Structure formats: structure tokens, C-alpha cells
Structure 1
Amino acid sequence: MPLSDTFIKQAKHSGKPAGDKHSDGGGLYLLITAVGKYWRLNYRFNTKQKTLALGVYPAVTLAQARRKRDDAKARLAEGIDPGVVKQAEKAAKAVAGENTFEAVAREYHNVKNSGWSEKYAAKWLRGLEKDIFPYVGRMQLTDITAPMMLNAIRKVENRGNRDAAHTLSQNSGQVFRYAIQTGRCERNPMPDLQGALQPVVVKHMSAVLEPLKVGELLRAFDTYTGQPITKAALQLSALLFQRPANIRKMEWGWIDLEAGMLTIPSASMKRTVAQKLNGRPHFVPLAPQAVEILRYIQPLTGYRTFVFPSTRGEGRPMSDMTLNAALRRLGYSGDEMTAHGFRAMARTLMIERLPGMHADVIEAQLAHGKSGPLGSAYDRADFMEQRRKMMGEWADYLDRLKRGGEVVQLKSA
């Protein structure tokens, strides 16, 4: 006797371990167990008895189960095993699931992140998770068009973050290129967006670049009434012109005061993972003025790991906001001077105002990528005398500016 909707809804499990079978005819039956109700179809193919799962009640209704039974019977009549068809469909869905934008993006991230810094890898994935996956993450790569990607990226652009929009476009393009390389799709739509996004307005780090103003800045340091180690960090930022992170994370173990040398390990430099592992340390000769400042604060922090430790607990360096906050306290707005601006200040004044300064030597001391015939040579310890001489001349020049002298003399051509 065929089943009815009322019977199916009211039927209970009897307690039998194997469950209870209720036939609807044509091989279709409802299996009721302690955990649920399941549609099954018994059929024979090539003399073998088989069972096909048709779904779970109530997600699959009685009417739907009967249609599934009839479809299976039609395939049997054509000599096709419905169980094999179902396995093929399941495999196709699995492959399709692997070809969505999100699946391929996460796979690409897993492949590449061992060669990225932890910070960059997290940022790369976080941007896609926030602004791309919600719109095209579940779509097949082959179905995604340039207008779809533009629509998602425009939402970021409309928030006023042009730089993030361009970064998302670039990172999405990496996903599509990887998909092409692994046979998931044949075309990358991202180049079609060229010119569609608003241009990024590059804003350079604010810096004091006029000698007279630099002298005023250096004198302002002497009026700083905050923590003495913050004042020392400002002074060393001007003298050493290293990246702010390398200043605030400086360790006493890196410093040889007798030799006048700061040696920053490769792992602490702004480099790729491979460069961090295989690169040389970055050497920063210390002028006598820098050594004097370090000797002054050594009694304050010399017993700790960091030269400029955090005030919020042991084992942490100075906050990345401290130096900029100190500059604001001295009356310098973010449009006038930043902690990163000491690098531009040093490079500009040394090139324009100090005779005999070679650009490649300055770039090497800035730990920038090197170019020209002197390029990589100046990143070797064997050439430290050129750097040591330069750092001494720079420190002496800052002293003269602080006293109010030599503020108009230009470097001779």
C-alpha cells in the first residue's frame, strides 16, 4: 500500500537497531531510524541488487522522492546505473566547489604564504574575506565577469579607500592567474578593469626638509618633557634615519658602544621571508653623538632587552604610536613631520647640502634596494668606513643646524 504524507509525518522509530522500512512501491521505501527518516530505492542492475539514497525527510518530500524513483527507473530502462550517475554528479559538485573564487584564493594563499611575512599573508587574505568573498566567493571562476569584480571593488573605493581597492584588484588578479595555471579557468578578467578605478594619490611621508626648520626641530627635542627614553628615540631617529620600527625595536644586544656599531639582524629588517632568512645584517655606524645618547639611557633600560621598552609591560618595545605622538606634543602636525620623515629629511639634506655624499652610500644606509656600480657593495661590512664617515658628517651637520649655523649654504655642484 502506498505511503501517505500523514503516515510519514506520524511514523515513529520502533527501536529496532536496523530501523523500520515502509514501502511505497516500485522499490521506493522510507527507512526510519533513531536519528531520522531516509528515502531509499532498491533496484537491480546487471543482476546485482543495489540501494540508492534519495534524500532525507522532510527536506525531500514524498512527491519528490517518487519523482527521484521515476527518474532512476528511466535511467535503468536506458541501461544506465542511477547509482553511478549520482556518484558522477557528486564528484562534479565537489570539483565545482574546488573551482569557486574563494576555494582557489584560499588554496593560492596556502601555497604562497610560507614565502610571505606573517603580517602580509594575514592582510592579503583578510582583504579578500572582507570585500570580495561576500560577493563572488561562492561563484565558479568561469562565471565571474569583469563587471562583477568591479562592482565588489567599487564598494571599497566608495568608502574612500582607493589604495585598498587597487590592492584588491591586484590580489584578485593573482587568484585568477593561479586558477589559469592550475586548469580551473582560461581567462583572467582583472586586466579589463584597467582604468576603471580611481587613481591612487600617492602621499609622501611628511618631513621637515629645510635646514632652518630642521634646526628648530632639533632644538624642540631639548624641550620635550615626556619620558627621557622617548626624547632619546627622537634624537636617534634623526641621527640614524632608520625605519621607525628598527628604532623602537632596537635591542641592547645589537649595540657595540665601544666599536660604535648597531647591527640589526636580517630577520628584523623589512625584507621578504627568504631575504630575512638568508640576508646579511644591516650595519649602522654610530657617530659619537649617537653613542653619547645611548650611554645616557643605558642606566635606564640597559638591563632590559629593548633600548626603548614599552611602559606597558616587560618584553615589549615602544609602541608604534609613541614617536608620532611625541612630535604632535612638540607642536608638529602629521602634515609637517612623522617618525618616518627622518629618513626623507636625512636623504634630502645630505644630497643637497653636504659635499661628497654618494647617493648609493646613502641608499645603502637607508637599507633601500641598491643600484649603480656601488650598489650592493655598500651593504658589506668591508665597506663600513664610507658609511662611518658619512654618519659622522651627518651628526656634525645636525649639531651645526641645531646651533643655528649653515642653514643657507647649498652643496656645491
Structure 2
Amino acid sequence: MARTVVPLNDTKIKKAKSEDKNIKLSDGGGLYLLIDKNNNKFWRFDYYRPYSKKRNTISFGIYPEVSLADARARRDEARSLLAQNLDPNEEKKRIALEHGDSLKNTFEFVAKEWLAKQKFADSTYKKSESLFDVIFEGIGKKPINKVTPVDVLNICRIYERQEKFETAKKVKVKCGQVLRYGVATGLCERDVTQDLRGALTTPVAEHMSAITTPNEFAELLNDIDHYEGTYITKVALKLAPLVFVRPGELRHAKWSDIDFNEKIWSYTPPKTKSKTGVELIVPLSDQVLKLFQDIYPVTSNQSDFVFPAVTSNLKPMSENTINQALRRLGYQKEQVSGHGFRASARTMLEEILQFPIEIIEMQLGHQVRDMHGRAYNRTKHLEKRRKMMQEWADYCDKIKQDYADSLKN
């Protein structure tokens, strides 16, 4: 017996949630609403091509920008074409070409061309692709020189309604990057996102959670020493506060970048390169050197990475590993994060150990300029930084021991 399809209505659509997996809500006649894991809602129409048993899918846009009534009208139009043995997708392309809108001038085509030229890290590339999936639903098939400020704003509003204001801002930025590429390649005259200044809700800046008081930081260091997870994760967790590099830089650490004789770790990760354009050198304190020496026989013979992923030696550990380990120790997201170790070190190095801020900033991988406005050379003040990193490690040991002693009394 055929399953009866109950037609959709706006109330049902508005209340529908994905529950961490893609779901489909059918409206009948091949039309359905696809709700992804982020609760974005896309209209889809499934059909079988004329003279073929191969099923195809056509997109009708994003709800609520494309209403239920509009989606049904587009479905009926597509079914009318099928009744004439015409493929709706092919007919759409034919009409576009007849009107002189070359497929190579569409926003989607230009965006993919621009995206292919960017030297993003894999994770950044995937995030960009995910964001563009939603953008393409709205304006992908539109000629880039026909995109208007309102077109972009409508896509931004999708995220603003979900109170994802930072993501809405990213949509505007990404569209602007593609449009400027279009200007440079002669496909459009200007970046229309410039007209959206003040139109979006300004996201509230969220600072990375960090512990900056000695007593609480000592407790954290003591808890890390008693972490009961995997050995590789524990070493990474113990190194994180001592080297205070970005979490992505720590997990991408390679054995080829570590010089045990010179006691330095030097590398140029994508994020540091984009911000400063120079290689970062991390002087290794005695404590850090020992941690690297301890884990060397465990991972060096199986991976280029100091901290390989559990699933593959060809990849570094997951970007969430450090934060998940901190959660296992009982620390909430609002208390501390892997990135927060940088703020902890910066605060205590300046306020308690009283190191010059320019030395601290240089070690953090930030752009630091001298009195003449010139960026410091990467090797500048290396001995001072070496001294600072050793004193920082010694300080961490001292407050951790003081905390452990206080528990005995």
C-alpha cells in the first residue's frame, strides 16, 4: 500500500528541526524540504529524466526566501516540462544561454574559480565550502553582475534569524571576496556588499576562555598531570600551557621541525604565515624538551606528526582533542579552552614575571614593530625569549608544586 504524504504547511516547516542529521519533509509530487544539521532549510525536487531511469534532483532555493507556495509553483512548472519529455535542469540551462547569461558568469562558477586559487588549510577550505553551499542556494545561478546588495542581505538574514551573527558576517565577507575577484577579472563592476555597511547585527566579541590567576592556573596544571586519557593526548595537554602556541599549530607539530640539539621548534603554519609572514621559533625549555623526548619513540617511527590522529598516522590529532580533554577534566567551555593558554601565559608573563610585552607578543607569533615601524626579524631577541620560556616553565612547576603541597596540609 502506498504511503500517504501529508502536505506541508508553514507552521510545520518553522517548527521542524534536524536533530543533528539531515532530514527530509515531503510535500508530495517529488517536492521536499531538506533540513541540514545546522537547521538550514533547502527546497529540493526529485524526478526521473525523460527516456531514462536515472533519478535527478533540482534545487528550488532556501526557505523562507522561497516560500512554500513558490516552491510548489516551481515543482508544478518542472512537472509540466517533464510531461513534455523535457528535463527541467537542462531546460533551465538552455533558457539561461538563450538570454545571454553564460554559465561561466554565474556567481557559483566565479566563486568556485576564486576558491580554487586560495591556499587554505583543509579545515578552512571545508568550512568555506559549507558556507558557499548556502550562498549558492540563494545566488549561485545568478550572473555575478546581476547580484544585488539585497540578494546578499537575504542570505545573511538566514543566519541572523538563528542568532548566528558571526556567520552572517562571514557570508557578507565571502560574497565580497568573490565579487572583488569578479571586478578584477572584468565580470562585474563593483563589490555590492559595500552597500551593506550597518545593515547587519554586530556580533558580540567572544574572548577565548582563559584562567589568568596563579592559584586557579596551578590547579589546572595539577589536574592536567592527573589526566587519564591516552598518552599522546596527555603529552599534548601538558605541552599546551608551556609553549602557548595556537592549538592548530600544536597539533600540526612535525618531528622535522624540532631541533633537539639547538632546543628550538621552528615552523611556518598557515595562520601564522597569513598574520605575520614569518617563521615562528619556539625556544624549548628543559621541561618541554623532555616531553618531546619522551614521546619521540612513541610516534616518530609511525608518523611525521608529533601528535598523529587516532584514525590515521597521515593526519594530526583532531582540532577538538585538547578541548575535549579539558572537558574530561571537568572544566567547562566558559572556564578554559586550548586557545586560552595563550591569554594565561601573556597575562602572567607580563604582570607577574614582568617580561617586556614586545617579547611576549613576539613569542605569541603576533606582528611586533620597532620604534621605526619595522617588523622585528624572526630571530630578534631569541636569547631573551629563550630565557623567558625557561622561566615560564619553572614558574609553572613552582605554582603547581605549591598547589599540590597545599592539598597535603
- TM-score tier, shorter chain, comes to 0.5 to 0.7
Aligned to 2:361: 363
Counterpart among 254, 257, 274 of residue 257 in structure 2: 254
Aligned to 1:103: 109
Aligned to 1:331: 330
Matches within 5 A, 1:120-139: 120-128=124-132, 130-139=133-142
SS at match of 1:207: coil
SS at match of 1:270: helix
How many angstroms apart in 2 are the aligned matches of 1:191 and 1:247? 37
- Paired residues of 2:265 and 2:283 also in contact (CA < 8 A): yes
Counterpart among 189, 210, 218 of residue 215 in structure 1: 218
How many angstroms apart in 1 are the aligned matches of 2:205 and 2:257? 35
1:309 aligned to 2:308? Answer: yes
In the alignment, structure 2 segments of 5+ residues that lack a partner are: 1-50, 52-83, 87-94, 404-409
- Give the superposed CA RMSD: 3.2
**C-alpha deviations, 1:291-329, integer Å up to 9, x for none?**
222333334334333333333343333322222121111
Aligned residue identity for 1:157: E
User: Which structure: larger Rg?
Assistant: 1
Aligned to 2:271: 270
- When residues 169 and 302 of structure 1 are mapped into structure 2, their CA distance, relative to the original with a 3 A threshold, is closer
How many angstroms apart in 1 are the aligned matches of 2:362 and 2:275? 19
- Paired residues of 1:206 and 1:336 also in contact (CA < 8 A): yes
SS at match of 2:208: coil
Aligned residue identity for 2:259: D
- Paired residues of 2:275 and 2:367 also in contact (CA < 8 A): no
Aligned identity (percent) is 36
Aligned to 1:241: 244
- When residues 387 and 378 of structure 1 are mapped into structure 2, their CA distance, relative to the original with a 3 A threshold, is farther
Matches within 5 A, 1:4-403: 93-110=99-116, 112-113=117-118, 115-117=119-121, 119-128=123-132, 130-264=133-267, 266=268, 268-271=269-272, 281-305=279-303, 306-355=305-354, 357-373=355-371, 376-377=375-376, 379-380=378-379, 383-403=381-401
Aligned residue identity for 2:128: W
SS at match of 2:315: coil
How many angstroms apart in 2 are the aligned matches of 1:163 and 1:258? 45
- Paired residues of 2:369 and 2:376 also in contact (CA < 8 A): no
Aligned residue identity for 1:298: Y
Give the superposition deviation at 1:187: 4.5
Give the superposition deviation at 1:160: 2.9
- When residues 207 and 94 of structure 1 are mapped into structure 2, their CA distance, relative to the original with a 3 A threshold, is same
- When residues 222 and 375 of structure 1 are mapped into structure 2, their CA distance, relative to the original with a 3 A threshold, is farther
**C-alpha deviations, 1:69-108, integer Å up to 9, x for none?**
xxxxxxxxxxxxxxxxxxxx99874455444333333344
Give the superposition deviation at 1:385: 0.6
Aligned to 2:38: none
**C-alpha deviations, 1:36-72, integer Å up to 9, x for none?**
xxxxxxxxxxxxxxxxxxxxxx789xxxxxxxxxxxx
- When residues 187 and 359 of structure 1 are mapped into structure 2, their CA distance, relative to the original with a 3 A threshold, is same
- Paired residues of 1:99 and 1:140 also in contact (CA < 8 A): yes
- When residues 289 and 155 of structure 1 are mapped into structure 2, their CA distance, relative to the original with a 3 A threshold, is same
Give the superposition deviation at 1:336: 0.6
Give the superposition deviation at 1:179: 3.4
How many angstroms apart in 1 are the aligned matches of 2:357 and 2:219? 26
Give the superposition deviation at 1:162: 1.4
Give the superposition deviation at 1:274: 11
How many angstroms apart in 1 are the aligned matches of 2:284 and 2:298? 20
How many angstroms apart in 1 are the aligned matches of 2:255 and 2:365? 20
How many angstroms apart in 1 are the aligned matches of 2:113 and 2:315? 34
Give the superposition deviation at 1:157: 2.0
How many angstroms apart in 1 are the aligned matches of 2:151 and 2:120? 29
In the alignment, structure 1 segments of 5+ residues that lack a partner are: 1-34, 36-57, 61-88, 406-413
Number of residues paired by the alignment?
312
Give the superposition deviation at 1:221: 1.8
SS at match of 2:271: coil
Give the superposition deviation at 1:240: 0.7
Aligned residue identity for 2:176: G
How many angstroms apart in 2 are the aligned matches of 1:375 and 1:242? 23
- Paired residues of 1:360 and 1:372 also in contact (CA < 8 A): no
How many angstroms apart in 2 are the aligned matches of 1:228 and 1:287? 21
